[in-house]
Amino acid sequence: MTPTLRLFAALALLAGTAARALPPVPPDGPTGPPVCTDAATIKLSSSASEVTFPNARTLTWSLSAPVGCKGLSLELDSAAVPAIGSRTDRPPRTEQHALRLMWTGLGQRALLRTVRVTVVVRYPTRMSIDAGTARPVQALVGALDPSNLNPMQVIELCNVDLDLTGHANLMLTDNRSLVAAPGCERGARSLGPRIFVTDKRGPGRSLFLIRSDKVKIAGFRLEGPTAGIGDDDDNNVESAIRIWPFGTVMPTPITSIVVSNMEISKWSGIGVEVGDAGDGALPGRFSNQTVGAVRISGNYFHHNRHRGKEGYGVLVTGGGYALIERNVFEENRHAIAGGSWDGRGDFSGYTARENLVLPGGGLHCGFAGICWQTHQIDMHGDRGHFDSDWCCGRAGETLMIERNTLLYTGGYRTVVVNGQPTQVWSDGLAIKVRGNPIDKAVVAGNVFRHGSRDDAIAQNGALGIIGDNISNPIDVRPDNVFGADPMATLGQCDFAGDGRQDSFMASGVTWWARSPVTQQWRFLNAQPQKLAQLMFADVNGDGRCDVVLKPQAPATQPGFYSSGGMGAWTMIGANAP
């Protein structure tokens, strides 16, 4: 090609490129950028920059553009809206709203301009979330957010079913309560409000995280995602509540964290975990000198299971200490588990008192799918060997296991014999301490379904080749009862006053009632009388069943009763007008 031809070709290429770069001018005049970008204006305002939940506010917006500007539209929070309008609603939490000016034309869509407005939501000290609350999940999350600077916050739930799937580590700071509203709580004839998740999750992602003092969670259902037995080691060990306070340079004791009257189920990791301040100075903020600083009371822990990882109703670990009292445990791998220490010198412990452990649960599966029945009340050691982790060594600090009713003995499991599945009974322990406690382990006043101490209780020692190496044995007191079956004979009476009969169980240390509506056992009283020593009648005329102490002589009139089975012994007629 000659130089002249190459020059003409280059000019032609440049001309073609320029033609492609410039959009054609529409026949009816300019319709898009840049004329409309410069001339069009949008406005967004709120009737209030700050509102108190659950009050309303109104958003107002408008678009102004020169005549001939076509293809313009508005989006408010990513949803199309008309050129002029308003919207009134009740924001559940602090929100920023964005109004976007969009242009569509020439086969393209472009964002021209954005204006924003923020509406701050403040919360009353006591707030309700019920069936009429708009966006209740967001209201709950907003009220729990650390940006809520109220010195005290009470959130009451009533008649709600909240899906918190995707949320994790929702933090309850100082003086926070998340409870069922009075009259809406879990009870003899009511299951109570429900919070649930459907997503399985790994360790470190509990639903609620308590890191401060004076916190209460009470009165509702907390349901995890695993109805069956968890089997994924990494992504199926979810937990409901983790109590793990912030550390301090000069540790100040925790005074009151309460988890009570809850139904906590289907968490294949942990229902409630209690640990000490691993990021602070020793000895931490929990100890055996502050029994009741963490109180886990009157709850129903059930179907928290895993093949071989957690599957715990309650775990106390990392130097934590908790009072675990008057709960019902059913179908958990371990009802109560313990991690020996925090690795720095702070050892764990618990007082487990007046709980009811029902017969189900305890299944543990190990290598090659081999399964057996494990124990229900546990404390790990701090050492292990090749075929067992945390089997021995030092096992926590102080363990007080008192006046519990332990009906678990093991269960049937399926094994294959000559190619055929066969049901085989497998014994399981009630209590196992896997090492030597630093202070003591006391087992006193409990009622066991197991026939003997050896069947019910076991202990490992320190690692060693010769002997059991138990240097601090469990103190098993003579007031424990073995071979008892308080469920063999139950009483029947209407403790709710609605004409329906509750089942009544007197274990020898505690009284319990099972609702015909919820089918759940609930604690009534800590009394030693058994069913044969009791009668039932409405002594005080309140329409509810009372428990009456049967007189020793048949012809003698009864003299004492317990109101609703929950009150102290009162002389009959003492309060009559």
Dihedral sign for Cα atoms in the order 453, 273, 524, 221 = negative
**422-440 pLDDT tens trace:** 776 778 999 999 999 999 9
Q: How far apart are CA 549 and CA 378, in angstroms?
A: 36
The answer to whether 505 and 565 are in contact (CB under 8 A) is no
More confident site: 204 or 352: 352
> Which of 543, 464, 551 shows the shortest CA–CA distance to 496?
543
Q: How far apart are CA 252 and CA 303, in angstroms?
A: 36
Q: How far apart are CA 103 and CA 112, in angstroms?
A: 7
**243-290 pLDDT tens trace:** 999 998 878 999 999 999 999 999 999 999 999 988 888 889 999 999
Q: How far apart are CA 189 and CA 299, in angstroms?
A: 15
Q: How far apart are CA 506 and CA 65, in angstroms?
A: 80
**What is the pLDDT, as a whole number, of residue 308?**
85
- What are the angstrom distances between the C-alpha of 505 and each of 68, 268, 351, 459? 83, 29, 23, 30
| Ramachandran angles phi, psi of 532, nearest 5° | -65, -15
**How many other CB atoms are there within 10 angstroms of residue 266's CB atom?**
21
Encoded amino acid at 68, one letter:
G
Strand partners, 521: 514
Confidence of residue 416 (pLDDT cuts 50, 70, 90): low
Question: Could you write out the DSSP letters of every residue in 349-388?
Answer: EEEEES-EE-S---EEE-GGG-EEE--SEEE--SEEETTE
Q: Are strands 431-434 and 440-444 parallel, antiparallel or unpaired?
A: unpaired
Confidence of residue 502 (pLDDT cuts 50, 70, 90): very high
SS3 (DSSP) at 505:
strand
Confidence of residue 232 (pLDDT cuts 50, 70, 90): confident
The answer to whether 434 and 379 are in contact (CB under 8 A) is yes
Q: How far apart are CA 330 and CA 309, in angstroms?
A: 18
pTM of the model: 0.89
Residue 53 makes CB contacts below 8 A (sequence gap 6+) with 90, 91, 92, 121, 122, 123, 124, 127, 139, 142, 143
Q: How far apart are CA 573 and CA 107, in angstroms?
A: 90
Q: Is the pLDDT of residue 5 over 60?
A: no
Lowest mean pLDDT among 39-53, 68-82, 455-469: 455-469
Q: How far apart are CA 219 and CA 210, in angstroms?
A: 17
> Which of 552, 548, 577, 568 shows the shortest CA–CA distance to 560?
548
> Which of 67, 59, 63, 122 shows the shortest CA–CA distance to 87?
59
Confidence of residue 38 (pLDDT cuts 50, 70, 90): confident
Q: How far apart are CA 197 and CA 167, in angstroms?
A: 8
**What is the pLDDT, as a whole number, of residue 434?**
96
HEC string of 211-255 equals CCCCEEEECCEEECCCCCCECCCCCCCCEEEEECCCCCCCCCCCC
Q: Where are the domains of the chain?
A: 35-121, 197-476, 491-571
CATH code: domain 35-121 is: 2.60.40
- What are the angstrom distances between the C-alpha of 35 and each of 101, 163, 365? 14, 48, 72
Q: How far apart are CA 558 and CA 494, in angstroms?
A: 20
Which residue is associated with the tokens 């009283």? Answer: 525
Confidence of residue 135 (pLDDT cuts 50, 70, 90): very high
**What is the pLDDT, as a whole number, of residue 390?**
86
> Which of 96, 225, 212, 103 shows the shortest CA–CA distance to 166?
225
Q: Is the pLDDT of residue 487 over 50?
A: yes
Q: Is the pLDDT of residue 505 over 70?
A: yes
Encoded amino acid at 346, one letter:
D
Burial class for 35, CB neighbours closer than 10 Å (0-12, 13-18, 19+):
middle
Q: Is 285 left (phi over 0), alpha (psi -120 to 50) or beta?
A: alpha
